[in-house]
């Protein structure tokens, strides 16, 4: 059993062992007075790596040397903030003379070497038992553009990029509150990736923040390069088909969720924020709902939720009808469908599996290919295969309609993760329908619902506000009421303050309805 | 002491009771009651509802004296060790048999209406597996699921309402056609469908709020289910003539079968599909009670470990009867057991509790 529990515990050891390992005393190596000794120590500590540059330098009358890794440092910056100012220097304190915005004085060499890897240049001076680490990191940020997979029609068009600093700035720009707190961590024993959790101090429940902190700090793994890896360590149930952490590339979506008392995790190198805890319905909300008027927003949201049922149930329903319950088809339609289905030599489940897998193949192929070819693959696949497959007599016409509708419905979800789960879930449904018809669908559907009721995300119910039922929260989960009606936040992340506005419309004074 | 986060609200209790009560018999009740009470059947159902109200008050009165304990924790206090164990075994067999009987009836309908050739164990074991997946959790999560699926009962009612197109009110006249004993006999018959309120034994310590609120919630649930049953019986009575009702075993299904909507035919298949979900919740409730009882019998605090074995026993029992004769025999046994353990025993226990002045410690109200 120990073996299995180890497999399924996701490397999520409870604090102790991880903490014990990291408590190995850090190596102390003081900066020596002799310049050459320091240089050779750094060189050895970095195993004579060849991107280490050592540039001799003069600081007034003192001899010195500037050490840096040219792969992570910006040569222009070195020129601008170190070399030029040092030439013109007058004082005796290099900390004052160097114009970089981050200069740290160190007497211990070990942390300095870690800083060098992160884009610091180190200045050693002959005869001084201290050194100066200067931040000259080479920033190679791409522009803040609209994320390709979370486009919005109305609303902000900025998206996260691979730099955590920029991402934090994008979030802060949305919420100018002093309650917005950033807590930083370094994750991964080897990758040492920067991560930070962001939350509103007066909203997010302290237990939740503590729990997230506990989960982050107790991951004991070498490679935590990006958020997508961390996500799986932090989720409650990794084997559940439903994602329990929302990934989003949109700062406005993050801000909206922070204002509901949720917590976001940002990581260096990850162009997305992980939002936790989330409920099922959060995956079906898109910033577009809030940026359009409430009637339109509600309509779109209902359509999306409906698409969830179409995507997982429609092929199953069709299979059940064709193979078991053809009585439910009205008479006029019956002959049409019969004429088409009768000529197919295979059972409907095979037809459906064949077509569904073809669509998945097309999707995957279209995604991997460069955009212009990707589109033509879609056309070739969709039109040519779709038409030919019917003419040959492998698949019936109604099945093509069903599969196409299902495909479209599964892409409506505004979250990529949930779209995957929806596409996966319909296969067990289809098999159940092929085995037991409607009753099979009921059983698998019940199974899914029970699973949703049991699932929790960071101690909060996943299927809220449907289970536990709280009709008040349906105003912002299933439909979108006008903002002035949304007086309370959703209760599932257990925010410290439930009320988010009071008598919002009456105070405008001019309203009569 | 039960932690606040394990508690359920009175509204959840109401729905727990309703979901436990409304189950298989929504299909069987009309014909079985009609065969005894004729067109006064609906009166018997209402009378049965009133009787079950009395029983609820008894169970509540008993639970109120031990507000922090479930039935099997205070049984030994009232009856002593040996007698307590015997009564405990009676309860265990009652729950297991009742659950099995539920499955037998469900399997029957499935065989008659949907899958005539599929072996019964396939559907029944799927049913039990699904239920098992849910009932291994605590009462709180079960309540969440029951609330979620509660709306489906209204869909059933809605479909049945459509049948009023063919209704003829004349069929229920004259009222009081059958003698009073007949009505009472039919009432006993319909009591079988209203069992399920005994889930109060298991929920009482877990419900938030005062004991009066708990009583109200349970009574409200009971009234709701009585009304649903009465509605179904009444609808069948006015849609079918008395002669027709004598020959059809599941009148509700025959009634919806004839309905034709323009976009789909055979409403009975949809009705059966939704009804299956309603039955699943009943099976869950009974499986939960059986698992709780059996695990308490073996002195275990958690029921999750015992539940699979209980489900296996229930499956075996429900596969045993294979003709109408045996089913009737089983129904007879279940009837006696439920009568003893839900009518006689609670009354006796209540009397003992009052006469010998045995009371549980008061629960500290928050």
The pLDDT of residue B361 is 64
Interchain proximity A436–B118, CB inside 8 Å: yes
Q: Using 50, 70 and 90 to split pLDDT, how confident is the model at A1?
A: very low
Chain A partners of B134 at a C-beta cutoff of 8 Å? 450, 453-454
- In this structure, are residues A334 and A342 in contact, taking their beta carbons and an 8 Å threshold? no
Residue after which a domain boundary falls, among A278, A301, A322: A278
pLDDT at B223: 94
- Residues A189 and A274 both lie in one domain: yes
Question: How many other CB atoms are found less than 10 A from the CB of residue B29?
Answer: 27
In a domain, A439, yes or no: yes
Nearest CA in chain A to B277: A442
Residues of B with Cβ-Cβ distance to A324 under 8 angstroms:
114
Query: 3-class secondary structure for A160-182?
Result: CCCCHHHHHHHHHHHCCCCCEEE
Query: Would A348 be classed as within a structural domain?
Result: yes
Q: How far is A130 from chain B (nearest CA, A)?
A: 57
Bridge partner residues of A214 (DSSP): none
% chain B with pLDDT above 90: 34
Helix H or strand E segment including A381: none
- B137 lies within 8 A of chain A by CB: yes
Q: Inspect the interface and report whether the beta carbons of A436 and B265 lie closer than 8 Å.
A: no
Q: In what order do the strands lie in the sheet with A180-187?
A: A180-187, A193-200, A263-267, A273-276, A246-248
Q: Classify residue A20: in a domain, yes or no.
A: no
DSSP B175: S
Residues of B in contact with A438 (CB under 8 A): 114, 269-270, 272-273
pLDDT of residue A31: 85
Q: Which residues pair with A197 in a beta bridge?
A: A183, A265
Residue A488 belongs to some domain of the structure: no
Partners of A450 on chain B (C-beta within 8 Å) are 130, 133-134, 145
Q: B243-267 pLDDT, tens per residue?
A: 777 778 788 888 888 777 777 778 8
**Can you tell me the ipTM of this complex?**
0.91
May I ask the CATH class of domain B7-355?
A: mainly alpha
Number of domains, chain A: 3
Residue A469's pLDDT band, with cuts at 50, 70 and 90, is confident
User: What residues are paired with A124 via a beta bridge?
Assistant: A65, A131
Residues of B in contact with A328 (CB under 8 A): 264-266, 269-270
Whether A439 and B148 lie within 8 Å, measured CB to CB: no
CA–CA min distance B273, chain A (Å): 6
Q: Identify the domain boundary among A434, A460, A486.
A: A460
Q: Is residue A191 part of a domain?
A: yes
Is the Cβ–Cβ distance between B234 and B42 less than 8 Å? yes
Domain ranges of chain B: 7-355
The answer to whether residues A301 and A402 belong to one domain is yes
Whole domain around residue A89: which residue ranges?
35-135
Q: Is residue A262 part of a domain?
A: yes
Q: Looking at chain B, how many residues does it have?
A: 366
CA distances from A165 to A144, A169, B170, B338 (A): 12, 6, 79, 69
* Residues of chain A contacting residue B118, judged by C-beta atoms under 8 Å apart: 436
Detail the DSSP E strand segments found in A225-383. Answer: 246-248, 263-267, 273-276
Whether B54 and chain A come into contact, CB under 8 Å, resolves to: no
**Within-domain flag for A473:** no
Query: If interface means Cβ-Cβ distance under 8 Å, which residues of chain A face chain B?
Result: 324-325, 327-331, 436-439, 441-443, 445-447, 449-451, 453-454, 461, 463, 466-469
Per-residue pLDDT band for B282 (boundaries 50, 70, 90) equals very high
Q: Is the pLDDT of residue A5 over 90?
A: no
User: For B106, which residue in chain A has the nearest alpha carbon?
Assistant: A439
User: Of A327, A441, A449, which is closest to B265 when you measure between CB atoms?
Assistant: A327
| Partner-chain contact B148 A453, CB within 8 Å | yes
Average pLDDT of the residues in A375-387: 81
SS3 B276: helix
Instruction: Give a yes or no: residue A87 inside a domain.
Output: yes
Contact A181, A201 (CB under 8 A): yes
Note whether A324 and A444 are same-domain residues. yes
Considering the domain architecture, whether residues A327 and A445 belong to the same structural domain is answered as: yes
Confidence band, pLDDT 50/70/90 cuts, at residue B241: confident
Q: What string of DSSP letters covers B319-361?
A: HS--SHHHHHHHHHHHHHHHIIIIIIHHHHHHHHHHHTT--PP
Structure tokens at A292: 């359009």
A14 Cβ contact list (under 8 Å, min separation 6): A218
Nearest to A499 by CA among A199, A197, A202: A202
From A460, A475, A506, give the residue that closes a domain. A460
Q: Does A345 lie in the same domain as A264?
A: no
Kindly state whether residues A271 and A309 are assigned to the same domain: no
Residues of chain A with Cβ-Cβ distance to B148 below 8 Å are 449, 453, 463, 466-467, 469
């Amino acid at each position: 059993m120990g073996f299995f529990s180890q497999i399924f515990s996701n490397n999520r050891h409870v604090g102790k062992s991880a903490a014990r390992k990291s408590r190995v005393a850090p190596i102390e190596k003081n900066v020596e007075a002799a310049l050459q000794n320091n240089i050779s120590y750094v060189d050895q500590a970095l195993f004579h790596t060849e991107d280490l540059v050592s540039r001799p330098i003069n600081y007034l009358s003192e001899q010195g040397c500037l050490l840096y890794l040219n792969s992570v440092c910006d040569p222009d910056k070195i020129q601008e903030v170190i070399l030029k100012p040092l030439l013109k220097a007058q004082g005796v304190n290099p900390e004052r003379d160097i114009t970089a915005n981050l200069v740290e004085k160190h007497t211990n060499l070990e942390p300095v070497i870690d800083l060098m890897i992160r884009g610091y240049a180190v200045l050693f001076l002959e005869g001084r038992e201290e050194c100066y680490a200067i931040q000259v990191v080479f920033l190679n940020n791409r522009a803040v553009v609209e994320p390709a997979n979370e486009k919005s029609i109305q609303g902000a068009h900025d998206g996260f990029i691979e730099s955590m600093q920029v991402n934090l700035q994008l979030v802060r720009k949305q919420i100018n509150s002093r309650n917005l707190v950033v807590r930083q961590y370094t994750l991964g024993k080897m990758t040492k990736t920067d991560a930070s959790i962001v939350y509103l101090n007066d909203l997010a429940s302290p237990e939740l923040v503590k729990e997230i902190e506990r989960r982050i700090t107790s991951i004991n793994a070498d490679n935590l390069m990006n958020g997508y890896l961390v996500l799986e360590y932090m989720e409650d149930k990794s084997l559940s088909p439903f994602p329990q952490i929302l990934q989003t590339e949109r700062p406005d979506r993050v801000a909206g969720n922070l204002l509901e008392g949720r917590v976001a995790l940002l990581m260096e190198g990850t162009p997305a924020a992980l939002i936790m805890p989330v409920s099922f319905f959060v995956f079906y909300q898109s910033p577009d709902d809030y940026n359009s008027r409430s009637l339109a927003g509600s309509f779109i949201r209902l359509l999306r939720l409906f698409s969830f049922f179409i995507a997982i149930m429609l092929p199953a329903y069709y299979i059940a009808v064709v193979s078991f319950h053809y009585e439910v088809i009205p008479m006029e339609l019956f002959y049409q469908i019969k004429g088409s289905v009768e000529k197919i030599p295979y059972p409907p489940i095979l037809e459906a599996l064949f077509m569904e897998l073809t669509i998945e193949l097309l999707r995957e192929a279209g995604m991997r290919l460069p955009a212009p070819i990707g589109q033509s693959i879609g056309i070739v696949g969709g039109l040519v295969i779709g038409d030919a497959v019917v003419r040959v007599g492998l698949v019936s016409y109604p099945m093509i309609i069903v599969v196409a509708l299902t495909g479209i419905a599964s892409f409506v979800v505004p979250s990529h993760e949930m779209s995957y789960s929806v596409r996966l879930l319909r296969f067990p449904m289809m098999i159940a329908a092929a085995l037991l018809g409607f009753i099979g669908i009921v059983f698998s559907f019940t199974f899914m619902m029970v699973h949703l009721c049991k699932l929790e995300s960071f101690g909060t119910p996943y299927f809220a506000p449907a289970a536990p039922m709280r009709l008040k929260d349906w105003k912002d989960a299933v439909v979108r009421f006008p903002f002035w009606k949304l007086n309370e936040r959703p209760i599932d992340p257990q925010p410290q303050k439930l009320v988010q506005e009071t008598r919002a419309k009456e105070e405008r004074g001019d309203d009569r309805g | 002491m039960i932690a606040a986060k394990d508690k359920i609200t009175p509204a959840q209790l109401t729905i727990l009771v309703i979901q436990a009560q409304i189950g298989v018999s929504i299909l069987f009740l009309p014909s079985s009651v009609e065969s005894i009470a004729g067109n006064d059947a609906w009166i018997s159902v209402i009378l049965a509802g009133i009787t079950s109200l009395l029983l609820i008050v008894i169970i509540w009165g008993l639970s109120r004296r031990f507000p922090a304990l479930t039935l099997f924790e205070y049984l030994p206090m009232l009856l002593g060790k040996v007698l307590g164990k015997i009564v405990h075994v009676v309860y265990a067999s009652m729950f297991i048999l009742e659950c099995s009987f539920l499955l037998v009836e469900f399997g029957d309908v499935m065989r008659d209406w949907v899958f005539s050739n599929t072996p019964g164990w396939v559907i029944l074991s799927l049913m039990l597996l699904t239920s098992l997946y849910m009932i291994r959790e605590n009462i709180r999560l079960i309540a969440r699921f029951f609330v979620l699926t509660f709306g489906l009962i209204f869909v059933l009612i809605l479909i049945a309402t459509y049948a009023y197109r063919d209704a003829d009110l004349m069929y229920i006249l004259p009222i009081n056609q059958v003698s009073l004993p007949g009505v009472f006999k039919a009432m006993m018959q319909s009591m079988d469908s209203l069992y399920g309120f005994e889930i109060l034994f298991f929920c009482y310590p877990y419900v938030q709020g005062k004991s009066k609120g708990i009583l109200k919630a349970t009574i409200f649930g009971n009234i709701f289910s009585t009304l649903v049953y009465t509605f179904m019986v009444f609808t069948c009575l006015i849609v079918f003539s008395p002669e027709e009702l004598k020959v059809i075993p599941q009148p509700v299904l025959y009634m919806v079968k004839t309905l034709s909507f323009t976009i789909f035919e055979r409403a009975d298949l949809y009705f059966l599909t939704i009804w299956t979900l309603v039955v699943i919740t009943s099976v869950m409730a009974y499986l939960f009670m059986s698992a709780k009882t059996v695990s308490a019998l073996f002195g275990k605090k958690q029921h999750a470990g015992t539940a699979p074995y209980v489900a296996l026993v229930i499956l075996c029992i429900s596969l045993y009867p294979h003709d109408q004769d045996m089913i009737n025999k089983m129904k007879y046994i279940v009837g006696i057991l439920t009568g003893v353990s839900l009518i006689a025993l609670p009354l006796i226990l209540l009397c003992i509790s009052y006469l010998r002045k045995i009371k549980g410690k008061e629960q500290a109200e928050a």
